[in-house]
Structures are given as C-alpha cells and as structure tokens.
Amino acid sequence: MLSANISVRDWQAKYANNLHERLLHFSVITIEFLGTLPHQREYEVLRSQLAKSATSIGANYEESQYATYREFIAKLRIVMREAVETQYWLKIINTMQIGDSTKRTWLVTEISEIVKMFGAILSKLKGD
C-alpha cells in the first residue's frame, strides 16, 4: 500500500521523470483518503465526485500516450479540466476540515502541483 507520509518533495525527487507513477500514486492516496470521510449521506457527493475526477487525471494521461498529436492535446485538456475539478472538491473538503488531515494536506498540495504542471505543458503546446 502506498503512503501519504512521504512528502511531496521526496515523491517529486524520487519520481521526477515518471508522471505516470506520480498520477497513479495520487489516485491511490485519494481513494485511501475517501475511506476516512464521515459516512453520512451528505458527504456521498464529495466521495463520488472526488473519486471520479481524481482517477480520471491519470487515466486520461495514460490514454494520451497512445494518441495522435491532435488527440494528445485534446486528452491533456481533459486532464487539466479533471485536475481543476479535483482541486475544487479538495478545497471544499479542506475548508470543512474532514477526513484524515495528513492525507488531505498532501492531496491539496499535490493537486496544486499537478494543475501547475499540466498548465505549463498546455501553454507550451499552444505555441505549436
């Protein structure tokens, strides 16, 4: 089982050139984190939406690797939209201060980095 106890800086240094592994790790930690949310009906939308958007980031990035150039850019735009949506759900959860605080803090930091990375990638591709 992967752990959120590893710092973002340590994770980035260890897997700096492996975005696939980083996005997989983010998905796994997100799923683990969702298990720490209160089991009340009103939190089900947070659990469902965050699970879908967070895991979609890595899935769409994986698909982009086997696409034409035009499809690649379209997939990266989807990745960016899913990352921004994930960031939104995590902002709500973080504002409410629910779930495991260590994993929550790690996820909020990591999704911020993911959004910045894909923003930079897309801005460079727009010049093509």
CA 60 – CA 3 distance, rounded (Å) = 23
Retrieve residue 125's tokens: 């591709």
Res 125: pLDDT: 87
Give the amino acid at 66: Y
Enumerate the domain spans of the chain: 8-125
Which bin fits 127, alpha (ψ -120 to 50), beta or left (φ > 0)?
alpha
Q: What is the mean pLDDT of the chain?
A: 89
Residue 49 has pLDDT above 50, yes or no: yes
Q: Which residue has the tokens 């605080």?
A: 101
Cβ count near 71 (within 10 Å): 12
- Give me the mean pLDDT over the 32-53 stretch: 97
Fold (topology level) of 8-125: de novo design (two linked rop proteins) (1.20.1440)
Q: What is the mean pLDDT of residues 42-48?
A: 96
Q: Which residues contact 79 (CB under 8 A, 6 or more apart)?
A: 57, 60, 61, 64, 118
CB 114 within 8 A of CB 83: yes
Express as a percent the part of the chain with pLDDT over 90.
Answer: 83
pTM of the predicted model as reported, rounded to 2 decimal places: 0.84
